[in-house]
Amino acid sequence: MDNREPVAIPFALVGFFATDKPVEEVVRTDLTTEELEEIQQFLASKLFKDPNVAVAIFPAIVPPDQAIEAVKELENFLFGKEE
């Protein structure tokens, strides 16, 4: 019998959206727990071979004036670079 303990492994998906409206007008703030779970299950089913992989996400929007800094921080985290 397999007695291995599950582990949490961080991963990142970086996306962009384009709009000519203020961010506050286009981003949904009423996402329900059920909708978030549906998104997590969808990502798990499309990204991983193992059907038992659980995905937890935290949707967040980085303001455009902070995007370059956020991408650099992600790059440093992923590739171990230090400034």
Provide the whole-model pTM: 0.66
The pLDDT assigned to 47 comes to: 94
The pLDDT assigned to 75 comes to: 74
Q: Kindly give the confidence (pLDDT) of every residue in the chain, 83 residues in length, as a single tens digit, with 9 standing for 90 and above.
A: 567 888 888 887 878 888 899 888 998 888 899 999 999 999 999 999 998 899 988 878 877 778 788 778 877 776 776 55
The pLDDT assigned to 1 comes to: 53
Residues in CB range of 27: below 8 A, 6 or more apart: 61
- Can you tell me the distance from the alpha carbon of 38 to that of 32, in angstroms, rounded to the nearest whole number? 10
**First-to-last C-alpha distance (Å) of the chain:** 46
Where b means 16+ CB within 10 Å and e means fewer, 6-39 reads: eeeeeeeeeeeeeeeeeeeeeeeeeeeeeeeeee
